[in-house]
Every structure is written in structure tokens, then in C-alpha cells.
Amino acid sequence: EGRPTNSKEEVREEWDRPIEFILSLVGCSVGLGNVWRYPYIAFKNGGGAFLIPYFCVYFLIGTPLYFLELSLGQFGSRGTTVAFKMTRMFKGIGWAMAINSFLVTIYYNVIIAWCLFYFFASFRRTLPWSGCDNWWNT
């Protein structure tokens, strides 16, 4: 009632189903490091006993920071470099996150290149890693 009749309402996009939102969050959160390094780190640090401090840190620090970043992005409707300019103290956090994403992308591209190399090398008649008859071996 208090709005002028000629104003245009901003239409915001929404997810069709809540499961799509949850799966997109999982897809962004569970990276290659969680799938690849986690079993090694858990085994090296005590196996099942490692899960107790891991989940404590996850729920006490990781989850609140995750939802803080999620709500900050939704509230600001901007990228990380602009969203963290709310105070001068947080100004560099957005740029640090953008640079970190760029460096992680380079790291993941190297790993994907290894995977593709070994995938296509596995179609050869004799596998390259089946013997030690290279010229640099002794």
C-alpha cells in the first residue's frame, strides 16, 4: 500500500526445488582436496580419532563462516571483492579470496591434466607404467 503504483518491483531468481540449492552448495564446498587428501590426512592423524576434532572444528568454525559468506553474498548481491568492502578492515579479504580461487584453479587444472594423461595412456597396448625400461632408468 505504501509503494507508488508505477515502481517496478525487482524480480529475484529462485531455485525451483530446495534440493537443487543444497546440491549446488555441496558441489561448491566438496572440492577435489576433500575427496583426494582427506583419507590420507585421516589415516596419518589417527584414523577414527581424527574425526572428533575434525567435526568439532567443522561445526564450530567452518559452518558459521560458510553461512556468513553465503548470507553476505546474498545480502550484498555482489562479488567477493565488493561485498567485503563493508568496512576498511575487511577490504583485503575479498581480494585474498579472489586470488586464492585463482591459485586453486591452477592447482586443480594440473591435477586434471594428470588424470587425463593417465586416462588416455591407459588405452595403449602396453601401459607406460608397466615396466622400467626407460632410458633414464638404471
26 vs 20, 38, 131, CA distance in Å?
10, 16, 40
Q: The whole model's pTM is what? A: 0.58
Residue 84's Cβ-count burial label (10 Å; 0-12, 13-18, 19+) is: buried
| 134 belongs to an annotated ligand binding site | no
Q: Where are the domains positioned within the chain? A: 31-77, 79-125
- Model confidence pLDDT, tens digit, residues 80-130: 777 777 778 888 888 888 898 899 889 889 988 999 999 999 998 888 788
| 35 belongs to an annotated ligand binding site | no
- Model confidence pLDDT, tens digit, residues 47-78: 888 888 888 998 999 888 888 887 887 777 77
Does 1 have pLDDT greater than 50? no
| 94 belongs to an annotated ligand binding site | no
